[in-house]
A = this chain, B = another copy of it.
């Protein structure tokens, strides 16, 4: 007689990343050894609405093809949990006898994990909960970095390099491009735009981070100075840049004035300022959804780490661990090579917290990042992308 395996449910919450399915599938693969596995459709909403799928061997065989495909395989979405929602979650898990829960998500999701665990304990349902970190914004605390960020950073680094090179060659027609990255309140993605810059002259020339207050007049002065010295200006800015009063420069409403708000569009405002006040031809570039979904920008290291965290979550669950989010702990050996271990932290150490780009990564000028940051970032995006060579043309005298 065989004992029935305990049941675990897993969901993917918040904005997807290009490698989020690597975490999911490595988790399922490992978990199937000891658990009966359920997928939660559309994450938190599915938990509340009772949308579960049983992932048997056959379903897993199909799902396997999605390991390197962007978007959340199980569906994701955004959902604000209310107190009554937590009761429903427990009710749905209990009726299925699901005793283990794993959510892949960011700091909001980890807050929900903490609340679900609390609620289970309050109503006397024994539930073990783990979190697997995921976000392109890289704003989770405790962990050195978060799966999803490496691939998004790779996309930003390549795009800024290529768009900058394009502008250089068009500088008799256009003078300024303002490239906008994701990142909500943190500058990690905007900072990645500097990775492939190898000299003062090369783009990007200016980077604006939410970690420093944004001054419009200073920005216009910076652009003027750059155009005068380099001949054109490539600017990178985070969507979350704020002025000294903490006001963001733009906000898009998805569904009229009452709908959910998403950031985006600050670059358009700034390009218009350059046109109006400096009388320089300028254009904005919103890097958009490709940052979190471009399959062609997936970093091999990011994909690997996302998978390893998924697998480790299954192992920890089997060991009976609960109340934890997995982390990546960076360890450098004597040669300075990149090494890391998988660690963990309590939900309350990350829930609702935001990790800013630290001061020691930011250039004192406030308009860029330094080599320390680039050295930190490089192993996460891979060595196979490089900056372009420099050149200049001495005009022929004859």
Contacts and interface: CB of A to CB of B under 8 A. Distances in A.
Contact of A16 (B45, B96, B161, B166): B166
A357 to B, nearest CB: 24
A268 B277 CA distance: 24
Contact of A289 (B18, B63, B163, B293): B163
Interface in A238-289: 252-256, 259-260, 262, 264, 275-276, 279-283, 285-289
Nearest to A53: B393
A75 B254 CA distance: 40
Contact of A162 (B70, B171, B173): B70
Interface string A287-319: 111101111110000000000000000000000
Interface stretch (A35-43, A102-110, A329-337, A369-377): A35-43
Interface residues of A, number: 81
Contact of A281 (B41, B74, B255): B255
Contacts of A42: 172
A79 B172 contact: yes
18 contacts: A16-B166, A52-B396, A53-B396, A54-B396, A77-B173, A78-B170, A158-B296, A162-B289, A163-B289, A163-B293, A165-B293, A177-B289, A254-B275, A254-B281, A255-B275, A255-B279, A287-B288, A296-B296
Interface of A: 12, 15-16, 18, 38-39, 41-42, 45, 51-54, 62-63, 65-66, 69-79, 96, 158-159, 161-163, 165-174, 177, 252-256, 259-260, 262, 264, 275-276, 279-283, 285-290, 292-297, 388-389, 391, 393-396, 398
